[in-house]
A and B are shown apart, each in its own frame.
Chain A
């Protein structure tokens, strides 16, 4: 589904060069729920950005469904992000001037989808995350857990094959974190959505079916590789 081949990411300023990712090779299969763990600054979010086509590697290749994306134009990359990938962020990234349902509709605005169809799909997505009663509310009228559920609904509205979640429970207490994790697990198990989640929470990570650990920009452990070795 997502293939990263020899990925290097180096940030350069006038005085310093920082290696964020070093020779990362990773293949995420369709239907997997992968969690990525590691200390702050080890390159997890950079990896997620590269997987989500939001950032370009300094060297190496990214392929989605076997198709390399290096030569894709800006609009083609945008189309891929829109149709194949859904994002969930730690800080939700909701638009506070739009209602819940309008926030959820956002990805569909960039497709040729009619207004009524957009609304229907947004409401369906909100139902999946249990927020049908809050469609007309604005984000500042919701709790943190509810906001994150709106963000998940927004990711689901476009019916993506992949969800990339960057510390989705990072700003939530344990109860709300569990709720969000349950939603993601359900999506993965019932709808077969491929999920890649960056997390600091070991308990959450252990619920996924593959755990990858990063340290200093390098992949140091992969549970699937370990299982294979055992």
Chain B
């Protein structure tokens, strides 16, 4: 019967051409949207490597150009912040804190591996406690690093793999310039701070040493507050900090708010694409439904004949559902020819698995859509009375 259906649809290919084309384009659009969605979902399910609950972000913007003065005020500020009973831990950082719209990167080299690009995060030792970072190899920054000959860094696993492969990373030295070197003191499994929907990139942390670095101002301050610390504490803290840092602009937000804001950068286009795709699929569904309905009315006599020569009403129903599925298969086969190029050619550098999953999901949705659209008209076809249908011609 399947062969018969393929033959029938193939012989009717001219009349089914538009429908096949519609399914072809729907499949491609679904494939594209699903690839985007599955890619984001895959990233979303991967660990961030840190926790953002009860983490607040302060942006410090001094109004004067005197770095020395600003650093002095900043020292006072951080001491005052740490003294609040509501604050568990606090750390200065660059502006590229988690979920911020800021990135800093640097190229690292080791042995034959040249210019491996990695995100740089300048943080204080308490940053680990603020974000709950877990060190899987070696250690985090500590007081002993002040006497270190080389500049200590903690790297993430991704950077470790890119630089050292399976080799041990701890103790490895990486050139900063002709006179200084980084020393790897620890490895953390993950650190994916840019967005929940972005893939993990190579990253390393440098420790801020306020005693040595006098020419740079760190405008980010992250702190872990105790559960329950709310607006009242925020107002009190900003009031007190403003007394120390007169004329400074101090903005407070939470990592949770920043996370939501960053997530919208991905979810809004995803929802918009989903809506466009949904509208398209709805139109295709209407088209399928209409064409099938028209086909059944046009083929009344054929239905009567098939009933006369031995088709049961169930077989008539299955035949029409089958025909729609065959039409969908033709459209899908054309779409597959194009879609499989993406994983084979590694387009957009996405993993092949994402493309294959998207192809499978798009094909499944097309077949599901075709089946849903076919059920009612096919049921109607199965209810046609053979003696009446045979008189239609």
Contacts and interface: CB of A to CB of B under 8 A. Distances in A.
Interface of A: 45-46, 49, 52, 54-55, 74-75, 78-79, 81-83, 86-87, 89, 91, 93, 95, 97-98, 102, 106-107, 109-111, 115, 154, 158
Interface string B1-27: 101100110011000000000000000
Contacts of B304: 54, 93
A54 B386 contact: yes
Nearest to A46: B387
Nearest to B319: A109
A77 to B, nearest CB: 8
A98 B11 contact: yes
Contacts of B139: none
A97 B390 CA distance: 18
A97 B8 contact: yes
Given A93-B301, A95-B302, A109-B4, A78 B315 contact: yes
Contacts of A81: 307-310
Contacts of A95: 8, 302, 305
Interface string B362-393: 00000000000000000000000111001101
A98 B7 CA distance: 8
B67 interface: no
Given A81-B309, A158-B310, A93 B393 contact: yes
A49 B305 contact: no
A87 B313 contact: no
B70 to A, nearest CB: 83
B393 A106 contact: no
A93 B390 contact: yes
A55 B385 CA distance: 8
B314 interface: yes
The secondary structure that dominates the B interface is helix
A97 B15 CA distance: 11
A165 B391 CA distance: 14
A74 B312 contact: yes
A150 to B, nearest CB: 12
Contacts of A49: 387, 390
Contacts of B12: 97
16 contacts: A52-B308, A54-B390, A55-B387, A78-B311, A79-B312, A87-B305, A87-B309, A93-B304, A95-B302, A97-B12, A98-B11, A102-B7, A107-B310, A110-B309, A110-B311, A158-B310
A49 B387 CA distance: 6
A54 B387 contact: yes
B259 interface: no
Interface in B292-347: 301-302, 304-315
B308 A110 contact: no
A112 B105 CA distance: 69
A114 to B, nearest CB: 11
A79 B313 CA distance: 12
A97 B312 contact: no
A98 B8 contact: yes
A93 B387 CA distance: 13
A78 B310 contact: yes
Closest 5 CB pairs of A and B: A82-B310, A78-B312, A55-B387, A110-B310, A75-B312
A78 B305 contact: no
Nearest to A95: B302
Contacts of A106: 305-306, 309
Contacts of B4: 102, 109
Contacts of A89: 305, 390
A98 B5 CA distance: 11
B305 A93 contact: yes
A154 B309 CA distance: 9
Interface string B230-274: 000000000000000000000000000000000000000000000
A75 B307 CA distance: 10
B7 to A, nearest CB: 7
A40 to B, nearest CB: 13
Nearest to A50: B387
